[in-house]
């Protein structure tokens, strides 16, 4: 398991460098966001997710930016249920505030995102179950790569005492796929597309600086 988690380290380092450097590109205010919440895959067992994003204003109502999200959950690969998965997603985000020029204490918003992913899976678990059939000798890659799109909606409010700090609740729907390689004796290598999308509920805070 340690080796599988370590396989995410190079992409995590790249994501950290991008998130660190991006604010230097903007002369206006920047928005630093942190999220944590519940992730439920469309095909699997629920887990958790955390993310960090840097957002830059386009105008008063909209922002764009980049996000790094880490998920841990269980899903299905090659017909084997409940396979532990650690996923790192790097995506571009666009958010639009639905400000109706009223005195509501909260501001609703909506957005979209597009990105790539790297997924470390428990390949030993898959191989052990496949090889319960004595005619099968299987080798499954421990890392898969893919991509996906998300849609999101949420509400945000100023935190007491300082309007530079904001709290929000956010829901997301995610369509993500990845390519995973399997090799079986006698049948050669196969690459299969797996559905790793799902729904998320987050709570988080945003700092404007």
Q: Is 187 inside a domain boundary?
A: no
**Nearest to 121, CA basis, from 145, 150, 137:** 145
Q: Is 11 inside a domain boundary?
A: yes
Q: Is 188 inside a domain boundary?
A: no
- Token duo for residue 150: 């998300």
% of the chain at pLDDT higher than 70: 79
% of the chain at pLDDT higher than 90: 43
Write down the pLDDT at residue 13. 55
Q: Is 191 inside a domain boundary?
A: no
Q: Is 137 inside a domain boundary?
A: no
Q: Is 35 inside a domain boundary?
A: yes
Please, which residues bridge with residue 121 across strands?
A: 85
**Nearest to 182, CA basis, from 135, 128, 142, 146:** 142
For the entire predicted model, the pTM comes to 0.81
Quickly tell me which residue has 């020029």 as its tokens.
101
Domain that holds residue 116: 2-77+85-122+145-176+197-208
Q: Is 111 inside a domain boundary?
A: yes
- Residue 184 binned pLDDT confidence (cut-offs 50, 70, 90): low
Q: What total number of domains does the chain contain?
A: 1
**Residues 159 and 125: beta-carbon distance below 8 Å:** no
Residue 63 belongs to a domain with what CATH number?
A: 2.40.160.20
- Residue 135 binned pLDDT confidence (cut-offs 50, 70, 90): low
Write down the pLDDT at residue 65. 94
Q: Is 181 inside a domain boundary?
A: no
């Amino acid at each position: 398991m340690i080796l599988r988690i370590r396989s995410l380290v190079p992409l995590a380092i790249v994501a950290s460098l991008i998130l660190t450097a991006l604010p230097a590109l903007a002369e206006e205010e920047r928005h630093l966001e942190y999220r944590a919440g519940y992730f439920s895959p469309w095909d699997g067992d629920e887990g958790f997710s955390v993310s960090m994003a840097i957002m830059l204003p386009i105008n008063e109502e909209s922002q764009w930016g980049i996000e790094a999200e880490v998920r841990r959950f269980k899903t299905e690969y090659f017909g084997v249920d409940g396979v532990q998965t650690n996923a790192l997603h790097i995506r571009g985000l666009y958010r639009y505030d639905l400000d109706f020029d009223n005195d509501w204490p909260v501001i609703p918003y909506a957005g979209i995102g597009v990105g790539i992913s790297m997924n470390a899976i428990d390949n030993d678990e898959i191989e052990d179950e496949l090889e319960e059939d004595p005619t099968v000798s299987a080798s499954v890659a421990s890392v898969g790569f893919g991509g996906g799109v998300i849609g999101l909606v949420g509400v945000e409010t100023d935190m007491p005492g300082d309007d530079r700090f904001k709290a929000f609740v956010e829901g997301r729907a995610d369509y993500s796929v990845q390519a995973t390689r399997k090799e079986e004796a006698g049948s050669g290598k196969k690459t299969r597309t797996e559905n790793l999308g799902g729904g998320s509920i987050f709570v988080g805070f945003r700092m404007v600086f």
